[in-house]
Structure formats: C-alpha cells, structure tokens
Structure 1
C-alpha cells in the first residue's frame, strides 16, 4: 500500500484531547494521564479516549490528587444534547471539505456491477433512481475506522428510505473483513477485494466519499476525514432526495 495516503484531520475541540473543568482552565490529557471512574477503577488510555470521543463523557481533576489524575464521568442527557447542538452549529458553519480530484461534481458516475461480502448484487445501470453513497476504505486506515460509528448512524437514519444505498468498497479480502466486522460492525453494504474499483476510479487516499444522485451524476466527493465530513455526506443525501 505504498501509494496509499492516509489523511488525518484534527477533530473539533469536543474530542478527547481537551476537556473543560468547572473553572476556565483547560486540562490536557495524554497517554500518561491516570483516569478513574467514581469507583476508583483505572481506565486504559484506549478506553477512556474512545468514551470521551463519543461526546457523552468528560473528565475533571480529582481534588487532592496528583495533577495528572482525573475523574471520568458521564454527562447528563441534557448536557449531551447541548453539546451535540453546539457541535452541529459549529460544523454547519465550516467550509466544505476538500473534494476528490477523481470525482467531479456534475459529471456522470461510471457505475460497475458489484457484489458485497454477503452475496448481495448491485447493478445501478439497471436499477436506476437511487442515491448511492460510496465509501472507499481499508481495515488498517485509522481515519476510516474513526468515522464508522457516525457512518452507522447515517445508515440508521435512512434505513426506511429505499432510495438510498450505502456501499463501502474495502481493499481487504472477505475473510479479513468478516473477522474485523465481528469486532467493529459497519452497516454499509461491504464490498471486499476492492482494489479493482479503487484503481478504476483512481482512488489513492482513504477514506474517500462519493455521493451519486438519482440522475447518475456526482453530487459530492471528499477525501480524508474532517470534522464536517459526515455533516456534508448527510446534507448531500438530503438534497439529492
């Protein structure tokens, strides 16, 4: 995968790196930070990091403890709702994420017949009138994995709409994908052994998102993972419908 470029883009300040205390002072967390819950159980870095990234947890300094010890706690439902609202408002004001050079908006998408790892076949030359949402990815791509939970939420949001189809084209083989998906479910229709498609469309940066409208024209594309990537995917789906 020498030619593959991983595009890592910083997330919003609501991520794990900074957490706000009750004062105006910001605290910085790192791998050496000691993070405990109310019962005193210490959480590994990978676990508390993921919990804070959900936007549903925060940390605060433990009174009387060492400077590098923090208490992990879950926000109230009201606090979570407020945080999500603020994040959505901020994301909506951000510039459109970087477009892919390989998929030009307004051009006709060159559909190929595909089959996912469960044997479901797709032929959009025959089955027209769908909004098709593509995601090019691979298992060992950190930003690809990072966006999966939010992409799953998108699938749930549109699961009752038969006019929207989500297809994730992976470079990995079916065996590796099924093993990966047991630990991290991905609700897109997963197409394995996707190097042929990546090469056909000139995709070298991952993740790459492409949305094709009902008319077969490209409506949106982007490479890498930005704070507002999922916002624009969702926005474009709505407009395409």
Structure 2
C-alpha cells in the first residue's frame, strides 16, 4: 500500500512539473517580454503574438555561456526569448499541449465572460509597425537600373518571361528550403500576396535553389504563395545573389525599384514600393 501511495505521489509531482512548464510558456509572455528573430532583431509584440497563435512558431529562452575559472556554465535568460519555426513534430507537440490545458483555459474564459458580459468593449486599434531604417541591399542589384531579363518555367509549368511582363510590377524572392530567414518571412510575404491577389498586374515569383519535387513537398507543409522556379542556382549566380533571402521589386518599365537581403520587414517594403509605383502611374 505504501508503495502504491508513493508511486501515485511521484506521478502527480511529475504531471504538476510538466504542467507548470507549459503554463509558464503562456503566462510569462506579455507586452514587456523581449522576443527576437533569428538575426537578433527585437520583434513587435503584436507580430510575435500572431506568429505564436498560428501554431507554426514557438519561443525558446536565450542561452548564454558563463565562464567561471575552468567551468563553462550554461545560463538561461528569463527575460528574453527567440521566435523559432516549428517542424511538423514540434507543431504536433504544441497542439497536444494546447489540448491538455483546454479545460483550464475554458474555465478561465467563462469567468472572464461572466465578468465582462455587461461591459461594452472598444475594438482594439490595428497595430501598424513602421521600420525606422532601410534594409540592407544586395550587391547584385542596383535600384534605378534596368533588370536583366530572363525566361523560365515554374514548377507548375507556367512560363515566366520578365521582358514580356513589361507593364506589370514583378516581385522576385530568391530563397531555399533550409534557410531559416527565408521561412521566417514567408507568412509576412503571403499576406502581401493575398492583399494584391485581385490585381493581375502584380506578379510574385520565387526562385529557389531546391528541386521541383522538394519544393512541392515543402509547400504542403509550409505555404509560400509565390509562383516558384526550381533549380534556380544559375540565376542566383547570374545576379550575384550571395545572401538569402534576397528580394527585388521591378516596376512596369523593367526598372529595379527596391532590393534587399535578409528578412528585415520585407513585406512592409514590398507593399510600400508597390504603392509608390502605382501612385506614380496614376
């Protein structure tokens, strides 16, 4: 009997410990929490909160190594976190954790609803983030210079001819599957594509280093709503693309109006450049 009681107590302690870790990951994160991307840039609260809610991202505490004589201790920073893209297994674990605590969250929501049922709530103002600096530009592209054209087929067999697309705005994104920064910016780029989905004069083309079948498999797990050209290393070399992702916006006259490397607010700058081009053509 004593043995059974002891085993039962140990099980309860184990579950409590696991529950505490899961709950802490939800409770401790707030507007004052510092969350960075993989490059070390601090992200706005509304942005990383939205990425966590999507279920495709998680956060991990930053880890520092502290040297003390002959030892090299590992220390976790409890005030700073890094936004991390989850693979399929990670998303599955996260979904299981959320399901485990659904009943607790439901009870809390019911209590809050009872408290605010007779209160008129104002709609929250949409968050608008305006970058304070321009992103880094690519060595292979010069804003204001003509884009050297190319012809190629997408993974779905559609012909892309930059010269024939004169009169349209073209957005190019050089990327590859195992590029963390490329994956980080995909949700942001998808929003831009969705915003201009009804405009046939804006074309979004991705040039990937990966094989056609690899891209198709990847897109089933991680949507990236550009038209994609596979085996594009030739074009990366042709245009001297040394860093990924690299993004280029070409205006209706075939002139490069914007280019950048990295995932530094790329969606914002693409949209701004498109709107500037459209305004000048009105």
The residue number in structure 1 matching 2:79 is 28
Comparing 96-105 with 132-141, which one deviates more in the overlay? 96-105
Contact 2:171/2:205 (8 A) holds in 1: yes
1:103/1:156 CA distance change after superposition, 3 Å: same
Distance apart, 1:123 and its partner CA: 1.2
Within 5 Å, give how 1:125-204 maps onto structure 2: 125-204=163-242
Contact 2:170/2:251 (8 A) holds in 1: yes
Q: For residues 207 and 232 of structure 1, what CA distance do their matches in structure 2 show?
A: 14
2:153 to 112, 115, 128: 115
Contact 1:136/1:198 (8 A) holds in 2: yes
Contact 2:169/2:249 (8 A) holds in 1: yes
Distance apart, 1:209 and its partner CA: 0.5
Q: For residues 141 and 80 of structure 1, what CA distance do their matches in structure 2 show?
A: 38
Distance apart, 1:81 and its partner CA: 4.9
1:109 is paired with a residue whose SS is coil
Structure 1 unaligned blocks of 5 or more? 1-6, 19-26, 32-42, 52-61, 63-77
Distance apart, 1:9 and its partner CA: 5.0
Structure 2 unaligned blocks of 5 or more? 1-37, 50-58, 61-77, 83-89, 99-103, 105-120
1:217 to 255, 262, 271: 255
Task: Tell whether 2:61 aligns with 1:10.
Answer: no
Distance apart, 1:213 and its partner CA: 0.3
1:182/1:92 CA distance change after superposition, 3 Å: same
1:45/1:224 CA distance change after superposition, 3 Å: farther
Contact 1:9/1:224 (8 A) holds in 2: no
Distance apart, 1:99 and its partner CA: 1.3
Contact 1:9/1:225 (8 A) holds in 2: no
Q: TM-score, normalised by structure 2?
A: 0.59
Q: TM-score, normalised by structure 1?
A: 0.68
Distance apart, 1:166 and its partner CA: 0.1
The residue number in structure 1 matching 2:136 is 98
Distance apart, 1:230 and its partner CA: 1.4
The residue number in structure 2 matching 1:229 is 266
RMSD, aligned α-carbons = 3.1
Greater helix proportion = 2
Task: Report how many residues are paired.
Answer: 184
Contact 2:163/2:254 (8 A) holds in 1: no
Q: Deviations over 1:212-238 (max 9, x none)?
A: 000110000000111x22111110011
For the pair shown, which has the larger CA radius of gyration, 1 or 2? 2
